[in-house]
A and B are shown apart, each in its own frame.
Chain A
Amino acid sequence: MKKSKLLSIITLALMLSMVFAGCTQETPGTPAADFDFDKDITVVARDAASGTRGAFHEIMNIIVKENDTEVDKLVVGALEFDGTDKVITAIEGDKYGIGYISLGSVSERIKAVAVDGVEPTVENVRSGSYSVSRPFLLVTKGTESKLVKDFLKFTESAEGQAITNEMKFIGAIDAPGEYTASGMSGTIKVAGSTSVAPLMEKLQEAYNELNPDVTFETQAQGSSQGIKAAIDGSYDIGMASRELKAEEASELNRYVLAIDGIAVIVNNENPKSDLAADDITNIYIGEITKWNEVK
């Protein structure tokens, strides 16, 4: 009887240690510098709501337009995430991954590669040599209230543009004016792009320091939602991180808040640091599936 008890305790210990050994194996950062070029590329995209996706797929010709049809050719099996951090997390953990995020969100967790030899830097986006960029738009409908006008004026002022540049976005106003606190009060409702939201938050914080009586209500669920909310009037300002479609543009006032580069990101262990735009397109439409097919 005693023997069997002892035995069962040993078996248990063995089984458990197996389980936990499995669990601890996943700790990342093991110096496995051996990058296997024969492995399949993990393609990471954003959800269809995202303006980053809309802009990126359009610029890289992943969306194919023919006559009246418009088809997103994104490769079958590409991961789709509804947030920038999920994309970063996926690429951070997967040696063979490729994804795209706003330039402002690039951090040391992942590596941003050059496209056609041009580094994704603020300077290159400003000069236009880094071609993968899109505008950050604020849209409103009809005549804005005084308060909304005042806030828009702030975003276009020297102060607002300074914040924009600080966040690694590129201010779009050539000769920004001065802004003086207006002391207004009320609520501004803002909805839209998750990419614009961090910048919007900073702008709101700075604006609040000057005008403490103004409150903001911000919903960040995607560019299309913001545009929709501005059109139906449920929000004062819509944030979009892609160009407006013709039927949207006809109903809205369009303000360019900033220009944002879209960085193509790979895992830190990936030896590639420069990709051809054609290769990126081919990866995203499934023509290239392995890293050794990339030049």
Chain B
Amino acid sequence: MQTRQSNFNEIVMQAIFFLSALISVLAVLAICLFLFMRGIPAISEIGFTDFIFNEKWGPVNIPASYGILSMIVGSIYVTAGAIVIGVPIGLMCAIFLSEFCPDNIYKIVKPAVNLLAGIPSIIYGFFGMQVIVPFVRENFGGNGYSILSASIILGIMILPTIISISESSIRAVPESYAEGSYGIGATKEETVFKVMVPAAKSGILTSIILGIGRAIGETMAVVMVAGNAVMPLNKIELLKPIRTLTTNIVTEMSYASGLHESALISTGVVLFVFIIILNASLSLISSKTQRN
């Protein structure tokens, strides 16, 4: 009797566990469904090429134009800038933490990296607006609200992602690799650079892709430092303002209506597609490493 009861419990609970697990799938499906449901009709109304390959964004003009090419390019530039700034520093910091850092300093640096990860993006944005923008204006010229400022702030924001994942993947390289390298007379620096880092490359690559994902999707920090000007492609410069996909949504959504609102949701769809591509490449990397 008791076993039947507990068998019954077991089955019921197992079903509940499974259903809970299915909720994530449902959530992803719902997000896809509703975003596409609202976004796709707008894209077809505007025309796919007029939406993606047109650099003119003038939703309040009559007749209105809804081209987001400039923002797609803007997002790519800003993200690339963040990678150029964030990856070398982050990777070096990861090497520092995993190979060179004395224990007592590790106790300071590691929590600092964790804290950096926990700081809300609004604080990064505010800091960027009050510090990075004037800094760029004084030292590099232009008015400070620029691709460069956005790249710097995003570069800082992706540091913790790059550092913690790269660090753990460097730590995961078997001891024997390093010993072999020392055995043939290499210095510690050479060993790290030529043996450890190449051996950890898939983990490092993962960290970079996650960093790209964070940078391309970041909104509130970018909106405060990028200046939000829609720039024609031939006028985009490092020290000039820029509008990205995310900031386009956040500055205009509150008052948009009709086709304008749908066009902004479509902007979100394009962003979503970018993220899906990034995720796909991530799982590609992880399946490759598993096979090796």
Residues of A within 8 A of B (CB): 22-23, 25-26, 28, 42, 47-49, 68-72, 76-82, 86, 89-90, 93-94, 96-97, 221-225, 228
Contacts and interface: CB of A to CB of B under 8 A. Distances in A.
Interface string B102-123: 0000000000000000000000
A87 to B, nearest CB: 11
Interface string B227-245: 1111110010000110100
Question: Which of A22, A23, A77 has the largest number of chain B CB atoms within 10 A?
Answer: A77
A49 B143 CA distance: 23
A42 B232 CA distance: 18
Question: Which of B60, B133, B240, B257 has the largest number of chain A CB atoms within 10 A?
Answer: B60
Given A42-B143, A90-B145, A97-B143, A76 B135 contact: no
Q: How large is the interface on B (under 10, 10 to 19, 20 to 34, 35 or more residues)?
A: 35 or more
A212 to B, nearest CB: 31
A26 B63 contact: no
Contact of A26 (B138, B241, B257): B138
A225 B63 CA distance: 20
Contact of B235 (A76, A90, A223): A76
Contact of B129 (A28, A42, A86): A86
Nearest to A70: B62
Contacts of A48: 59-60, 252, 255
A94 B194 CA distance: 47
Contacts of B145: 79, 90
29 contacts: A23-B135, A26-B135, A48-B59, A48-B255, A49-B252, A49-B254, A68-B62, A70-B60, A71-B61, A72-B58, A72-B61, A76-B235, A79-B143, A80-B227, A80-B228, A80-B229, A80-B243, A82-B251, A86-B224, A89-B129, A90-B145, A93-B137, A93-B144, A94-B143, A221-B254, A221-B255, A222-B255, A225-B254, A228-B255
Nearest to A225: B255
Nearest to A96: B143
Q: Which 7 A-B pairs have the closest CB atoms?
A: A221-B254, A49-B255, A224-B255, A42-B143, A70-B62, A225-B255, A222-B255
Contacts of A86: 129, 224
Contacts of B58: 71-72
A242 to B, nearest CB: 12
